[in-house]
Structure 1
Amino acid sequence: MEFEFNEEQKMIASSARDIAKDFPPEYWREKDEKGEFAEEFWKALSDAGFTGIVIPEEYGGAGMGMTELLIAIEELCANGCGMAGNWYLVLTEVFGGMTIVRHGTEEQKEKYLPGIAKGELEFCMALTEPDAGTNTLSIKTRAEKDGDEWVINGNKIFISGADRAKGMLIVARTTPREKAEKKTHGITLFLADLPDPAVKVNPIPKHGINYSKTCEVSINNLRLPESALVPPLDGGWYNLLDTLNPERMCFTTAAIGIAKAAIKKAVEYSKQRKVFVDPVGSYQGLQFPLAEAYATLETARLMNFKASTLFDKNAPYREVGKYANMAKVVAVEAGLKAVYWAMQCFGGYGYAKEYDVERWWREINLIRLAPVTQQMALAYIGEYLLGMPKSYRT
């Protein structure tokens, strides 16, 4: 068991810190307020090869794994980029790149991976639906065969990046649930090129992360060729889990990075700001909660790297899921505590936009809810780690 990064991994961390220096908190404050996509940041990620970390070398990528992607994300998030350090990469490199690398056909790899690696082809994933939510097995989006084409109809919600993406991973039912031999049977993954007149996208106003749009998506008679199907037909559920586990790990890393950014800023302020006589950082009422949160974040970080290491070694999805879910639960609770007490450290200034902590508070609160709620992660731990009876119905 290794607890040190190798030289390649150290270089990735260093490169990420260098990129973050060019995109400090005030840059993201402006992008968030204006609701603008950070084109310059995306170009910097692409130029550094970060959009191709998990893409094999034969398709123009770096040929690395999930662990290296997490290293890059953590350093970006922790050094001032906040959620953006995760958000821009996960949409394209996980939903598009990772899915195609592990489960796509050779034709799909040749078509999509070089563009993803260069940062020329942004991706999104159309999974969540208004009536299904976390219960993916109850999705209603249908894909039906018509000659040598698939025709897809359905409505999706909270689809981030759909307004810009040139590629979309669509999760649809090819066998109705009531006709499926078991509830996990009948789900299939498809790759669609955008824009397409059959796909309508409508951005949703939201609380934070406004440097990227999150959208409602309506799919009406979208016609795709047979080659758009990510095999196997009707067996996409297990391949989807191979996408959702990495997504979970990335958001866990985001929670850790955002919290560390907030702690760093609070510590710097706490040394300078004096109340009565002493600097506020000397008060245990502020010092202890931040110290405890930091210690817990470091613990979650190790658990998350265990999940990514297992993933990179092609461990079974459920084995990866054990550690990914535990890391997510711990990182989010510690991260929320860290940013809460960082804001408290600033007092009234913590509520002011110019100090950025309030934005990180808005960003980290999303991770309570997505990509899976804390409660569903706990349900997974209760059932699959502790062996307790299933606590919900699907």
Structure 2
Amino acid sequence: MSTSPTVQEARTRTREVTSQFDDDYWRAADLERRYPQEFVDAMGASGLLAAMIPEVHGGLGWGIGAASAVMEEINASGGHSAACHAQMYTMGAVLRHGTQEQKERYLPAIASGDLRLQAFSITESSGSDTSRIETVAERDGDDYVITGHKTWTSRIGESDLALVLARTSPRGERPTEGMTLFLVDLREVRASHPEQLEVIPVRTMFNYATNQVKYHGLRVPGSAVLGEVGKGFRHVIDGWNAERILLAAEAIGDSRWFVERAVSYSKERVVFDRPIAVNQGIQFPIADAYMRMRAADGVRWEACALFDAGEACGAEANMAKWLAAEASWQAANMCLDTYGGFGFVDTYDVERKFRETRVYGIAPVSSNMIRSFVATKVLGLPKSY
């Protein structure tokens, strides 16, 4: 665990916000499938969602280590950082590939919390094979017209801006070429041409504001292009390491929550005239979960150090994500076993966090895809796809 002053400040400031949102708040939001807008607003007002935006643009100018601590603390408090985590890494595309005009127009407003960039509209029915997306953007004078269907686009209803990936030229010999990334101002779309954007809410097993989105000839100005035309896929993937590190931290936060709750409950729960914590059948799984969490945390901080130093960290970022996802899922099962039947009762919050943490083995990259990455990119084994 990092002990740097910035990371400690990140933890302290995040705890100040999360202390205002207790288990009852998160339980009610989950039950109603309601977006936790009050929490996200508080995080935005605190400046923490601008952790990685440089100070020159109004942000905190922190590294990814401190930013990851913010995500970890949200989940460790019993909250659900999926409501706001995208803003941590989506702004990176603007920072790295935006024009000076785009940076000056959007980044200070994102940093202040006046603008929300929470929507990343990429995935289609082809899933992880992004090269086969079918959404197209055709040039029409100075504008582009976007037509297509995205299977998953989270928080678009809660966002002012969205990153949208579309094909601007047909799929060819180099399948990852020919896609362009657009920074779409949703406020303008909603005000002038709402019929061009169809949002279909998707109910999932946990409280996640996700949707299908259909673009019905959505007209955007040429100034909405982010980076180079035809190079959008490259612009997307260079943010993947940050995304994996931040989500690894979230899963580690979940592991902390499960371990802490299991320790506390096992000391208090008395069966056969003694606390269940004295039983090795209870102790050993809790100890296992704690050690798995610490191991994942170690690789997470290794990835953070490399990322902040500007060094290659694809292997470490992916391994941290895999290890953390495995650790949080094992911890979730351990915690449910510790609580027994009470773990299924919503007032204990175990079943809610159990559902929430399961996603880390699937999204934004599945654990099996990470295994493939490590096998081929790190160990030099032949590609399987």
What amino acid sits opposite 1:245 in the alignment?
N
Cα deviation per residue 1:163-203 (whole Å; 9 max; x = unaligned)? 1211000111112113xx51221121110011422111111
**Unaligned segments of structure 1, at least 5 residues:** none
1:156 is the counterpart of 2:150: yes
Contact 1:252 1:332 in 2 (8 A): yes
User: Where does residue 379 of structure 2 map in the other structure?
Assistant: 386
User: Where does residue 261 of structure 1 map in the other structure?
Assistant: 257
Contact 2:259 2:289 in 1 (8 A): no
Deviation at 1:300, TM superposition (A): 1.1
Contact 2:289 2:334 in 1 (8 A): no
Counterparts of residues 233-272 of structure 1 (less than 5 Å): 233-272=229-268
User: Where does residue 92 of structure 1 map in the other structure?
Assistant: 87
User: Where does residue 212 of structure 2 map in the other structure?
Assistant: 216
For structure 1, which segment, 362-371 or 141-150, has the greater mean C-alpha deviation from structure 2 after superposition? 141-150
Contact 1:158 1:216 in 2 (8 A): yes
Deviation at 1:8, TM superposition (A): 2.2
Cα deviation per residue 1:228-281 (whole Å; 9 max; x = unaligned)? 111122122222112222222222111111121111111101001122133111
What amino acid sits opposite 2:129 in the alignment?
N
Counterparts of residues 350-365 of structure 1 (less than 5 Å): 350-365=343-358
Select the residue among 44, 47, 60 that pairs with 1:46: 44
CA–CA distance in 1 between the matches of 2:45 and 2:281?
44
Partner secondary structure for residue 169 of structure 2: coil
User: Where does residue 360 of structure 2 map in the other structure?
Assistant: 367
Cα deviation per residue 1:63-90 (whole Å; 9 max; x = unaligned)? 1122211011111111221xx2x21332
Aligned residues: 378
What amino acid sits opposite 1:190 in the alignment?
F
CA–CA distance in 1 between the matches of 2:304 and 2:84?
16
Deviation at 1:384, TM superposition (A): 0.5
1:133 is the counterpart of 2:127: yes
CA–CA distance in 2 between the matches of 1:175 and 1:314?
32
Deviation at 1:93, TM superposition (A): 2.6
Contact 1:351 1:358 in 2 (8 A): yes
Select the residue among 24, 27, 35 that pairs with 2:22: 24
CA–CA distance in 2 between the matches of 1:175 and 1:309?
38
Contact 1:122 1:166 in 2 (8 A): yes
User: Where does residue 10 of structure 2 map in the other structure?
Assistant: 12
- TM-score, normalising length from structure 2? 0.94
Cα deviation per residue 1:326-345 (whole Å; 9 max; x = unaligned)? 11111111111111111111
Percent identity, please.
36
CA–CA distance in 2 between the matches of 1:275 and 1:67?
42
Contact 1:53 1:62 in 2 (8 A): yes
Inter-CA distance 159–174: structure 2 relative to 1 (3 Å threshold):
same
Inter-CA distance 239–306: structure 2 relative to 1 (3 Å threshold):
farther
Deviation at 1:115, TM superposition (A): 1.7
1:326 is the counterpart of 2:319: yes
Deviation at 1:152, TM superposition (A): 1.2
- TM-score, normalising length from structure 1? 0.92
User: Where does residue 105 of structure 1 map in the other structure?
Assistant: 99
Contact 1:9 1:71 in 2 (8 A): yes
Contact 1:91 1:160 in 2 (8 A): no
RMSD after superposition: 1.4
Partner secondary structure for residue 174 of structure 2: coil
Cα deviation per residue 1:112-146 (whole Å; 9 max; x = unaligned)? 1112112222221101002x101111111111211
